[in-house]
Amino acid sequence: MFVGTGSDVGKSIVNTGFCRILKQDGYHPAPFKAQNMSLNSYATPEGFEIGRAQAVQAEACGINCHTDMNPILLKPTNDKSSQVVLNGKPVGTQSAYDYFMGNNKSALFEEAKSAYQRLEKRYNPIVLEGAGSISELNLKSRDITNMRMATETNAVTYLIADIDKGGVFASVYGSIALLNEQERNQIKGILINKFRGDINLFEEGKKIIEDLTGKPVLGVLPYFRDIHIEEEDSVSLEKKYSNSLAGKINCAVILLPRMANFTDFSVLEHDPRVHLYYTNNITEIENADIVIIPGSKNTISDLYELKNNGVANAIINARKNGKKVIGICGGYQMMGNIISDPQEIEGNIKQISGLGLLPIETTITEEKLTEQCKFTFKNYDSSCSGYEIHMGQSTALVPNKCLNKLSNGKKEGYILDDNCWGSYIHGILDNSIVINDLLSGFESISENEFNYNKFKEEQYDKLADVIRESVDMKLFYKHLSQE
């Protein structure tokens, strides 16, 4: 199990790397995170919903993802409440206070344990991931993700600290000192992450940490920029604001307050033909060749924000000026004429006019569609794949303009013309047919097609190589053999 001194210290990435290492070494590993909080989710083959990070880790293991890998998912709907997804299906919305302070955590912990036990029967070893800090004393008694799960499963547990944040000695020492004796005994080692420069210069630092904590430093991982693993949290998007770039196809993704499934655009980040940036700046939107409206956990609220900050008009003007404008999931809904929420599922706004780019009307419904899908895009013959996760149904006011034809015979999405379309399908851009169609009609420095699946596999292997070079793998396997 990999736990952390805080959030964003690299738990998910490290977990992914060890998943790939264990697969390479002949094991049959699987990831597990009891409770995840993220708007970045994924549909399992069975049609259920889990956190995207566990889907990525399952991919690194070479296996299909399953709800047992992330039995509890919290999807924030606003600053104070979240939709609770249990074993892949929504079971209601709760305020943060009610969720973390209420008495339902014991039942959820039992659900998490049951999921782990089912997973353990099918895979070995299980690579667990914690959440945030292991030493939040005000929440620790109700924790179901960190040391409580570590002790329950008797996991070989490693504490990860981010040295780039500063204060690594205090954060490591303090995190361990605040644990009780049983929890401290569960910690078998420490991983220092994101070290810049010559790692040999930290030899004295390693010894100091080992003397302070009585725990070995398993390794010191370098700060790297050349390995690209899909990220769990949209906090990373703060580093991806940028103006347009000459010689590239400039693609602007509208930055929404409650953006969901931003990994829909990872393929564009790495395609050599494209310069991708996230923005709500009107000038940057006007300078783009392609404008994409992403998914949202609260479509009406985010559309209301776009109308107030001038971005809605900028998107409409981009369309008028001949730019390509597409929408995915919530972004697709925003492109229509009207979005209605008669049951006030998303909030107290029952209806809002859309951007008027597509002749569709959407009604938000309580029922949530979650499924993987196969489809053909436009008039192409080749099969594509993706997944749907949305609450709401869209009706076309002008028939026979569907974008995709699903393998089950249903029609999906809407295409006005080659420069304006929308779809509910997440991962639609991961298909080479779709991405090449989207990028057609532009000149760029590179005309080479980009194989995103091959790229991802290369990244998992590169990550595994870096970890092997930086970690005492003999000690790692010794710890596992002792359990």
Mean pLDDT of 68-97: 86
Q: How confident is the model at residue 91 (pLDDT cuts 50, 70, 90)?
A: confident
pLDDT averaged over the chain?
Answer: 92
Annotated catalytic, 61? no
Q: How confident is the model at residue 233 (pLDDT cuts 50, 70, 90)?
A: low
Looking at residue 101, its pLDDT comes to 61
Instruction: Report the amino acid identity of residue 397.
Output: L
Residue closest to 260 by CA, chosen among 234, 290, 291, 238? 234
User: Which CATH code is given to the segment(s) 2-228+458-482?
Assistant: 3.40.50.300
Looking at residue 135, its pLDDT comes to 93
| Joined tokens for residue 201 | 């210069």
Inform me whether the pLDDT recorded for 96 exceeds 70. Answer: no
Inform me whether the pLDDT recorded for 100 exceeds 70. Answer: no
Higher-confidence residue of 391 and 306: namely 306
Inform me whether the pLDDT recorded for 154 exceeds 70. Answer: yes
Count Cβ atoms below 10 Å from residue 3 Cβ, excluding itself: 28
**Same topology between domain 2-228+458-482 and domain 248-444:** yes
CB contact at 8 A, 406 and 58 = no
Residue 269: which H helix or E strand, with range? helix 266-270
Inform me whether the pLDDT recorded for 236 exceeds 60. Answer: no
Residue 31: which H helix or E strand, with range? strand 30-32
Instruction: Report the amino acid identity of residue 280.
Output: N
Catalytic residue selected from 61, 251, 329, 384: 329
Mean pLDDT of 460-479: 97
Q: How confident is the model at residue 58 (pLDDT cuts 50, 70, 90)?
A: very high
Catalytic residue selected from 66, 275, 390, 426: 426
Looking at residue 406, its pLDDT comes to 96
Looking at residue 177, its pLDDT comes to 97
CB contact at 8 A, 231 and 261 = no
Q: Is 136 helix (H, G, I), strand (E, B) or coil?
A: coil
Higher-confidence residue of 447 and 336: namely 336
Looking at residue 395, its pLDDT comes to 93
Tell me the CB-side half-sphere exposure of residue 218, using CA atoms within 13 A. Answer: 24
Looking at residue 225, its pLDDT comes to 85
| Joined tokens for residue 244 | 């347009």
User: Which CATH code is given to the segment(s) 248-444?
Assistant: 3.40.50.880
Q: How confident is the model at residue 97 (pLDDT cuts 50, 70, 90)?
A: low
Strand-pairing partners, residue 395, are 361
CB contact at 8 A, 392 and 404 = no
CB contact at 8 A, 205 and 234 = no
CB contact at 8 A, 95 and 80 = yes
- The structural domains of the chain, with segments of one domain joined by +, span 2-228+458-482, 248-444
In degrees rounded to 5, what are phi and psi of residue 301?
Answer: -65, -40
Annotated catalytic, 66? no
Inform me whether the pLDDT recorded for 16 exceeds 80. Answer: yes
Q: What angle do CA 413, 438, 460 make, to 5 degrees?
A: 95
Inform me whether the pLDDT recorded for 311 exceeds 90. Answer: yes
Rounded-to-integer distance, Cα 130 and Cα 31, Å: 11
Q: Distances in Å between the alpha carbon of 209 and those of 222, 229, 392?
A: 18, 29, 52
Q: Distances in Å between the alpha carbon of 220 and those of 164, 206, 351, 452?
A: 12, 9, 53, 30
